[in-house]
């Protein structure tokens, strides 16, 4: 069964709250993993460059993912969290290279995916 946007946002908010309590920060990729819209296997495949970009293996249609991504950032800022852009690098054999999140490679989308939100000190 496919979830509607409101159900996805509710799941995302619950998961990000749990992650914030556990880790002291949240990021969209961890949230997708927590709600089951990104499998550990697909995440590992992306980290090891077996998948060219993360959106290819997220198990939600891209219109909903983009909606979730915008809401994620807006909610974090409204919640008083501090934005910190993080560089995601590949793992495994060979040279470490920056990873892509989207097919387009648009800098705004890439930045939205790679931003972590931290509790203020």
pLDDT exceeds 90 at position 3: no
How many domains, in total, are found in the chain?
Answer: 1
CA distances from 99 to 21, 50, 120 (A): 27, 11, 27
- pLDDT tens-digit readout, 4-60: 999 999 999 999 999 999 999 999 999 999 999 999 999 999 999 999 999 999 999
The number of helix segments (H) and strand segments (E) in the chain equals 5, 3
Mean pLDDT on 55-67:
96
Q: Give the burial class of 100: count Cβ atoms within 10 A of its Cβ; 0-12 exposed, 13-18 middle, 19 or more buried.
A: buried
- Predicted confidence at residue 1, as pLDDT, reads 57
Region of 94 (left: φ > 0; alpha: ψ -120 to 50; beta: rest) is left
Range of the domain at 33: 5-118
Confidence of residue 101 (pLDDT cuts 50, 70, 90): very high
- Predicted confidence at residue 63, as pLDDT, reads 94
Structure tokens at 103: 């097919």
Name every residue whose Cβ is closer than 8 Å to that of residue 7 and which is 6 or more positions away in sequence: none
């Amino acid at each position: 069964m496919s979830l509607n946007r409101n159900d996805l946002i509710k799941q995302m908010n619950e998961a990000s709250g749990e992650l914030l309590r556990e880790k002291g920060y949240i990021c969209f990729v961890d949230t997708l993993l927590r709600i089951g819209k990104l499998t550990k296997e697909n995440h590992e495949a992306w980290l090891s460059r077996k998948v060219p970009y993360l959106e290819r293996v997220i198990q939600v249609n891209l219109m909903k993912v983009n909606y979730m991504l915008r809401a994620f950032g807006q909610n974090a800022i409204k919640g008083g969290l501090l934005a910190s852009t993080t560089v995601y690098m590949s793992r495994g054999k060979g040279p470490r290279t920056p990873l892509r999140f989207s097919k387009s490679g648009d800098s705004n989308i890439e930045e939205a995916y790679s931003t972590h939100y931290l509790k203020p000190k």
